[in-house]
């Protein structure tokens, strides 16, 4: 398989695994300690119906069979997988049955499984450029030779990917909403990507980030729903639709790979809590999931508006922010000459968690910007946080 | 680094990772679906104080801060790590502080982390022979060149390991109770192993399996407690001391490696549920953990006695079983000419889960035997299961 000559900023790491990868982990992992504004990936946890959840849980925990205290099938609890398959059919137009769905501990584990099972060391993998450190590291550690492919207003530039590494083994893409730039992969790009994958037998990892939280218009059909050749691995999670501590997610895999994915999950960490899986299954099938999503989507949209207004009012002279159409964060682009990494460091000292955009770029010209998670914080906290932020010294 | 010429039954697998490893996963992973007698690794779940657990959990879940719905520090919740450090000091004579303890989702994840962080592909790793499929696979998939080292009545034959692969990077050992043969690693072997590791800068993975369940005499000091050179990675779990669905375990690592292990855990699956960690912390510090272990140890010892008597009464003509001094399973050795794999298959058809001993052997002459988990099943279920088993046709 030909390898791309694309220069990689991390290429100084000689081996993708073992001790030589320590440096990569040490330097590039975001270490979270507690919830502080404006962390991303956090839904409105203050709105989660905890008592209802606990009541449903009691059926299987306090009053249930002691075998509920274990894990059961390493592929996951079948009725939950059936509920997810129905959910994906209704909301993402996906045709897949429970026998293709594997329960994971979240999208992070889903991507690690896909990288472990599908990649041999030294094979090329397209990643979006910019891309989060975590996605970068997951594929790097699996031994991939990473090929950063630029994103434009239509999302991943598929023709560029094909030009750089036509025979890559795998492409990572977040089509519903690119992280961190926020655009949606256009339909023509979706079709071009699927066409490339089916011609070359490449795999597509579809990270369907925040598909539950679209505030404007309708989502495009998922890549998985357009795929007639079984090339897409669909990665989903309940961390943001429910709560991160739940530790439940799922992947949808082509039927022929289900045995291998299941065995790999079993080998990694055996399986997920059966009580959590049974409770999640009830939460979906009894209608609570949709009610919760509907309610929380409204809450998120309100917080988004408060965030955008607060940024524009207090920081409009240095930040340009668009109203995000989906997801849990807003991206503000900094005016020329301002260094996002410096500002994020100063903000951290003031107790505000912001993510700097520019380090996410691998090869393409970096933009300077800041990422604000808005969903996890009530309006007043958002306004207070932005006020605090407006007092720091932005110029170097 | 010189490589052992020891022939490996799995050596036909050309590459340790990626798609070529599918066959290994497919063929050698035990797939569990539900709790049935006589599954191993299952404590007396019917005796777990579920209501107490749920009451403690409420403090952090129903009435707590919404940020409890997330994960917090990827190394784990500090008070839990402090409680574990105190527990290990008292019960395993270990000197380690919370800053060396990383919370995992169980011992399986702990071993995967150790294999990922400490091994480079192609390096030698000693494993015990016989060894469970899961341990075999974890180190195989990390890219190790496995060196099976025989066990005798003193446990791992350290001189043989040194003769076979003197410069191995790592040794896997279960010193408290070898799985599946049940012996304890002798003190002289412990010292020889530590001496070898400190001389060659090798790592020792101490899988302290079922150290909580010793029925006779006192445990020997853990390898970690005897280690003056920071060579031991200690792997522990709450799956058997509490319940498997809890998904909490821990590893104790040398101080200099803590950052890398933490980053690796964060990259694998972000972290463990904060509510579970806070509840476990309270469960230990308020004294419930010791009371529970004391009580359940008695229950397990009773079930062990019922199991051994039932096997001797009904199957004594074909199985020789010793009373296990520790742990959750009994090993029965089959009389000559009886095939353990065939019998385990027939038992499975009758709804009885038995593990055949002989496939666990890698290089050394295999014994034929069957492994009976006794702890998870009340006396009557044990007697009923053994009666059902006594009716199957044992001869081929």
Nearest CA in chain B to A257: B22
Nearby residues of B55 by Cβ (< 8 Å), 6 or more positions away: none
Contact with chain A for residue B105, Cβ under 8 A? yes
For the cut 90, the answer to whether the pLDDT of residue B154 exceeds it is yes
Burial class (CB in 10 A: 0-12, 13-18, 19+), B223: buried
Closest by CA to B150, choosing from B124, B126, B175, B177, is B126
- At residue B61, the pLDDT reads 87
- At residue B9, the pLDDT reads 29
Are A20 and A14 in contact by the 8 Å Cβ rule? The answer is: yes
Nearest CA in chain A to B120: A18
Are B54 and A62 in contact by the 8 Å Cβ rule? The answer is: yes
Are B67 and A45 in contact by the 8 Å Cβ rule? The answer is: yes
Three-state DSSP class for residue B249:
strand
Nearest CA in chain B to A78: B33
- At residue B211, the pLDDT reads 85
From chain A, pick out residues whose CB is under 8 angstroms from the CB of B51.
62
Q: Residues 274..313 of A with a Cβ closer than 8 Å to B: which?
A: 274-276
Report how far residue B137's alpha carbon sits from residue B29's, in angstroms, rounded to the nearest whole number: 9
Check A117 against B22: CB less than 8 A apart.
yes
Shortest distance between the Cα of B66 and any Cα of chain A, in A, equals: 5
As separate numbers, helices (DSSP H) first and strands (DSSP E) second, chain A gives 13, 12
Average pLDDT of chain B, as a whole number: 90
The two tokens of residue A358 are 């520019």
Give the pLDDT confidence of A123-169 residue by residue, as tens digits: 999 999 999 999 999 999 888 999 999 999 999 999 999 999 999 99
For the cut 50, the answer to whether the pLDDT of residue B16 exceeds it is no
From chain A, pick out residues whose CB is under 8 angstroms from the CB of B20.
120
DSSP A392: S
Nearest CA in chain B to A120: B18
pTM, two decimal places: 0.92
From chain B, pick out residues whose CB is under 8 angstroms from the CB of A110.
none
Mean pLDDT, residues B375-395 taken together: 94
Shortest distance between the Cα of B217 and any Cα of chain A, in A, equals: 30
Report how far residue A355's alpha carbon sits from residue A344's, in angstroms, rounded to the nearest whole number: 6
Interface with chain A: mutation pick from B37, B58, B60, B67, highest number of A CBs within 10 Å: B67
Average pLDDT of chain A, as a whole number: 90
Q: What are the distances in angstroms from CA A185 to CA A39, A210, A235? A: 25, 14, 16
Q: How many CB pairs under 8 A join A and B?
A: 206
User: What are the φ and ψ backbone dihedral angles of A107, each rounded to 5 degrees?
Assistant: -65, -30
- At residue A202, the pLDDT reads 98
Interface with chain B: mutation pick from A44, A66, A117, A378, highest number of B CBs within 10 Å: A66
Contact with chain A for residue B50, Cβ under 8 A? yes
Closest by CA to B25, choosing from A264, A333, A169, A297, is A264
Three-state DSSP class for residue B355:
strand
Q: How far is CA A197 from the centre of its chain?
A: 21
Nearest CA in chain A to B47: A66
Q: DSSP letters of B253-297?
A: --GGGHHHHHHHHHHHH----HHHHHHHHHHHHTTHHHHHHHHHH
- At residue B3, the pLDDT reads 30
- At residue B208, the pLDDT reads 93
Nearest CA in chain A to B136: A267
From chain B, pick out residues whose CB is under 8 angstroms from the CB of A50.
61-62, 69
Give the pLDDT confidence of A165-220 residue by residue, as tens digits: 999 999 999 999 999 999 999 999 999 999 999 999 999 999 998 888 999 888 88
- At residue B12, the pLDDT reads 28
Contact with chain B for residue A79, Cβ under 8 A? no
Closest by CA to B375, choosing from B172, B210, B167, B220, is B210
For the cut 80, the answer to whether the pLDDT of residue B19 exceeds it is no
Check B71 against A244: CB less than 8 A apart.
yes
Give the pLDDT confidence of B170-214 residue by residue, as tens digits: 999 999 999 999 999 999 999 999 999 999 999 999 999 888 899
Report how far residue B112's alpha carbon sits from residue B139's, in angstroms, rounded to the nearest whole number: 8
**Could you tell me the pLDDT band of residue B364, with boundaries at 50, 70 and 90?**
very high
| Out of A18, A45, A117, closest to residue B70 by CB | A45
Report how far residue A319's alpha carbon sits from residue A309's, in angstroms, rounded to the nearest whole number: 12
- At residue B219, the pLDDT reads 81
Nearest CA in chain A to B46: A66
Check A137 against B275: CB less than 8 A apart.
no
From chain A, pick out residues whose CB is under 8 angstroms from the CB of B105.
105, 247, 269
B354-357 contacts at long range (C-beta below 8 A, 24 or more positions apart): B354/B38, B354/B389, B355/B30, B355/B40, B355/B180, B357/B130, B357/B180, B357/B331, B357/B333
The H-or-E segment that residue A172 falls in is: strand A170-173
Q: What are the distances in angstroms from CA B44 to CA A59, B51, B243, B299, B375? A: 20, 16, 9, 8, 5
- Rounded to two decimals, the ipTM of the complex is 0.91
Report how far residue B139's alpha carbon sits from residue B116's, in angstroms, rounded to the nearest whole number: 9
| Out of B72, B120, B247, closest to residue A18 by CB | B120
- At residue A357, the pLDDT reads 96
The two tokens of residue A173 are 């893409």
Check A267 against B141: CB less than 8 A apart.
yes
- At residue A230, the pLDDT reads 96
Check A118 against B66: CB less than 8 A apart.
no
Give the pLDDT confidence of A278-324 residue by residue, as tens digits: 999 999 999 999 999 999 999 999 999 999 999 999 999 999 999 99
From chain B, pick out residues whose CB is under 8 angstroms from the CB of A262.
31
Three-state DSSP class for residue B57:
helix
The H-or-E segment that residue A145 falls in is: strand A145-152
Contact with chain A for residue B23, Cβ under 8 A? no
Contact with chain B for residue A262, Cβ under 8 A? yes
Contact with chain B for residue A133, Cβ under 8 A? no
Contact with chain A for residue B256, Cβ under 8 A? no
Q: Secondary structure of B273-284 in the HEC alphabet? A: CHHHHHHHHHHH
- Angle, helix A288-315 to helix A274-285, in steps of 10 degrees: 90
For the cut 50, the answer to whether the pLDDT of residue A27 exceeds it is no
Q: DSSP letters of A193-260?
A: HHHHHHHHT-EEEEE-TTTT-B-SS-PPPPHHHH-SSS-EEEEEESTTTT-GGG--EEEE--GGGHHH
Report how far residue A301's alpha carbon sits from residue A293's, in angstroms, rounded to the nearest whole number: 12
Report how far residue B367's alpha carbon sits from residue B335's, in angstroms, rounded to the nearest whole number: 10
DSSP B71: -
Shortest distance between the Cα of A335 and any Cα of chain B, in A, equals: 33
**Could you tell me the pLDDT band of residue B18, with boundaries at 50, 70 and 90?**
very low
Report how far residue B231's alpha carbon sits from residue B251's, in angstroms, rounded to the nearest whole number: 13
Closest by CA to A304, choosing from A215, A211, A212, A208, is A215
Apex A22 CA angle, B237 and A105, nearest 5: 45
Closest by CA to B82, choosing from B287, B284, B288, is B284
Shortest distance between the Cα of B337 and any Cα of chain A, in A, equals: 32
Question: How many of the other CB atoms lie within 10 Å of CB of A15?
Answer: 12
From chain A, pick out residues whose CB is under 8 angstroms from the CB of B29.
263, 266-267
Contact with chain A for residue B341, Cβ under 8 A? no
Three-state DSSP class for residue A170:
strand
Nearby residues of A115 by Cβ (< 8 Å), 6 or more positions away: A125, A138, A139, A141, A142, A144, A170, A205
**Could you tell me the pLDDT band of residue A25, with boundaries at 50, 70 and 90?**
very low
Three-state DSSP class for residue A360:
helix
Shortest distance between the Cα of A337 and any Cα of chain B, in A, equals: 32
Report how far residue B172's alpha carbon sits from residue B160's, in angstroms, rounded to the nearest whole number: 14
The H-or-E segment that residue B1 falls in is: none
Task: Count the alpha carbons within 13 Å of B278 in the hemisphere toward its beta carbon.
Answer: 21
């Amino acid at each position: 398989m030909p390898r791309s000559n694309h220069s990689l900023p991390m290429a100084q790491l000689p081996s993708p695994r073992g001790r030589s990868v320590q440096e990569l982990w040490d330097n590039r992992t975001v270490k979270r300690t507690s919830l502080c504004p404006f962390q991303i990936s956090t839904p409105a946890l203050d709105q989660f119906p905890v008592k209802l959840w606990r009541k449903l849980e009691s059926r299987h925990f306090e009053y249930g069979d002691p075998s509920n205290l274990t894990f059961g099938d390493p592929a996951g609890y079948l009725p939950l997988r059936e509920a997810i398959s129905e959910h994906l059919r209704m909301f993402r137009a996906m045709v897949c049955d429970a026998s293709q769905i594997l329960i994971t501990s979240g999208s992070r584990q889903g991507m690690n499984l896909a990288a472990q099972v599908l990649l041999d060391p030294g094979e090329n993998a397209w990643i979006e450029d910019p891309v989060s450190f975590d996605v970068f590291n997951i594929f790097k550690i699996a031994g991939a030779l990473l090929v950063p492919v630029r994103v434009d207003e239509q999302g991943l530039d598929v023709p560029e990917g094909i030009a750089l590494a036509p025979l890559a083994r795998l492409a990572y893409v977040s089509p519903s909403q690119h992280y961190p730039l926020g655009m949606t992969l256009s339909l023509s790009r979706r079709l071009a990507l699927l066409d490339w994958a089916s011609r070359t037998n490449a795999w597509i990892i579809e990270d369907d980030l925040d598909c539950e939280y679209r505030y404007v218009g309708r989502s495009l059909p998922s890549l998985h729903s357009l795929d007639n050749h079984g090339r897409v691995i669909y990665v989903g999670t309940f961390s943001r639709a429910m709560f991160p501590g739940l530790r439940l997610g799922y992947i949808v895999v082509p039927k022929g790979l289900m045995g291998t994915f299941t065995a790999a999950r079993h080998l990694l960490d055996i399986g997920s809590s059966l009580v959590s899986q049974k409770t999640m299954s009830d939460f979906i099938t009894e209608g609570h999931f949709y009610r919760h999503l509907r309610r929380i989507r409204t809450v998120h949209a309100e917080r988004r508006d408060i965030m955008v207004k607060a940024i524009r009012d207090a920081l409009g002279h240095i930040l340009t922010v668009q109203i995000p159409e989906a997801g849990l964060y807003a991206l503000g682009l900094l005016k020329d000459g301002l260094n996002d990494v410096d500002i994020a460091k100063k903000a951290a000292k003031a107790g505000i968690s912001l993510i700097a955009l520019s380090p996410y770029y691998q090869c393409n010209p970096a933009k300077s910007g800041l990422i604000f998670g808005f969903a996890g914080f009530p309006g007043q906290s958002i306004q207070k946080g932005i006020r605090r932020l407006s007092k720091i010294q932005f110029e170097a």
